[in-house]
Copies of this chain bind each other. A is one copy, B any other.
Amino acid sequence: MSTSTIGSTISSSKVEGTAVYNLQGDKLGSIDDLVIDKRSGQVRYAALEFGGFLGMGTDRYPLPWDQLRYDTEKDGYLINLDKSVLEGAPRYTEDDEPDYDDDYGRKVYNYYGSTWPSI
């Protein structure tokens, strides 16, 4: 998909479906959804779709937004993340979304070494 962006903003519909690569160049999957804090309007996670086959049985991995860097050359997001780290990462199935509360947020952010913004 096209993810051309103008200025310093991007639309959610363009993020959804965009590929995610690690720094080794491995494609980890693609962004399925964004989870937004309702009160502050802050994006908390991008849900990475990873694994499965032909879209069946894939898991969702919530990634802290601040870990993703958009790369125009790759037309996708880059994240400093080894595949082996992803194997132990928090995940859920599409039909079993977790409670995205502060506890879950802290767990996810801690896993990736990000600081959970408690507001």
Binding site for B on A (CB under 8 A): 5-13, 15-16, 33-44, 47, 65-66, 70, 97, 99-101
Contact = CB atoms under 8 A, between A and B. Distances in A.
A36 B36 CA distance: 10
Nearest to A66: B41
Q: How many copies of this chain does the complex contain?
A: 2
Q: Which 6 residue pairs across A and B have the least CB separation, nearest first?
A: A12-B12, A41-B43, A12-B34, A9-B100, A41-B65, A7-B101
Contacts of A8: 37-39, 100-101
A43 B39 CA distance: 11
A12 B36 contact: yes
B9 A35 contact: yes
A65 B34 CA distance: 15
A9 B44 contact: yes
